[in-house]
Each structure stands twice: as structure tokens, then as C-alpha cells.
Amino acid sequence: MASIANVRRALISAPQVARGYATATAVKVPAVLHGIEGRYATALYTAAAKKSALDAVEADLQQVKRVVEKDTKLREFLENPTINRIEKKSGVQKMLGAGKYNELTKNFFDTLAENGRLYDTVKIINSYGSLMSAGRGEVQVTITSAKELDAKDVAKVKGFLAKSNFVTAKQTLIVSNKVNPAILGGLVVEFGDKTIDLSVSSKINKLNQLLHEAI
């Protein structure tokens, strides 16, 4: 596949990815996350690391996520901006009281309720998961194609990435293939904050832009 060969060329010419940073505390955060959800997740990660509770908190958050995704009423309760913060705090305490959750997790959700950020629950949980994944040396890779790729093509892209400057020998690539017919053909490879767009739709858009500028 020509697009896979293009991925290899794009990787060779791309700049080095930032590897993460150390916070002002003794805790080293494995990735830089942006946005409100990123800041909350980073704060929780730092607190959990200090208490040697990273895995416990991750398990708690995944359990909360499963509950929220299955319970429509609970999700609506968390996302409803008209419900006051005191009522939301009481509601989330009741939810966590039904299971065995780490005190850090309970305190964190109290903070979200007090700050009116419970509607960001799932986003924050996903961001925390990204930090944990980065801490384990995992690099999440999404390959978008117009049609589902076979295992050999996925393995080829994974191999090019593994040999690039974007990952180290200690990191593990977690690759998934997403199908989007709208790209028409080619591939879009996303990992970290980087995107390699080798789709046919992207090339057509660039051609249209050049034609428009020429008129």
C-alpha cells in the first residue's frame, strides 16, 4: 500500500516529540495534558503518586466510568447545570458510598462537585487513563482508513512507528484501526498530539485551496 510507505517517509522527516515533564514536586508526570480536564487529571495523578495509589485510583475511575456510561439518569444528573453544587456533592457521595473507593477518589469527586466540574467526569477519567498509559510506556496510535485494514497493513504502520523518533525501545504501541469512508483513501495516523494526514480527502482539499488561490 502506497500510503503505508508514505507514513514511513513522514515519520523520518518529522520532528522529535516532547517526552513529558517533571512537576515542581518530586512526582514526575509522564505526559503534558491540556485543558481543564488535563489539569484536573494531572492534579489527581500527582496526589495519587504521592500516596502510592495510582493503580487503585485508576481502578476506581474506570469503575465510575462504567457506572456513568450504563446509568443514563446518573449521567444526566452529573451533566445537568441547573442542579446546585450541594445537591450534586451529596449525590456523588451517595454513588461512591455504594462501593469501596479510595479516599483520594472520594475527595477528588467532592472537589469536582464543589468546583462545578462534575460534567467533565468522563473527560477527566479519560485524561487520567492517558497519564497512566504514558506512565506504563504505552503509546496510543489510531490509524484511520477508508476501509478496514488487514493485520499485515496495521503491522507495517506499527513497525514504521516503532523505528521512528517518536517512540523509544521501552515504549509499547497500542494500535487501533478506525474506519472513516469520508477520507476517501490513504491513511490518517494519530498518536499523542501528532497527526500524519496522508488521506486522499486531505490532498483534494489542498488542491482545491491551491486552485482557489490561483483564481
Q: How many C-beta neighbours within 10 Å does residue 36 have? A: 13
Which residues fall within 8 angstroms of residue 199, CB to CB, at 6 or more apart? Answer: 144, 146, 183, 184, 185, 186, 187, 188
pLDDT of residue 182: 93
Q: Kindly list the averaged pLDDT for each block of 10 residues, start to end, along the chain of length 215.
A: 59 42 62 91 95 96 93 91 91 87 94 93 94 88 92 89 81 90 91 84 80 69
Tell me the C-alpha distance between 116 and 110, whole Å.
10
Beta bridge partners of 22: 28
Tell me the C-alpha distance between 188 and 214, whole Å.
28
Contact 116, 86 (CB under 8 A): no
CATH architecture of the domain formed by 2-18+137-214: 2-Layer Sandwich (3.30)
Contact 142, 189 (CB under 8 A): yes
Contact 27, 47 (CB under 8 A): no
pLDDT of residue 15: 41
Name the nearest CA neighbour of 44 among 23, 63, 74, 21: 23
Q: What is the CATH number of domain 31-133?
A: 1.10.520.20
Distances (CA, A) of 63 to 101, 157, 194, 198: 9, 33, 30, 37
Q: Residue ranges per domain, the chain?
A: 2-18+137-214, 31-133
pLDDT of residue 97: 86
pLDDT of residue 18: 32
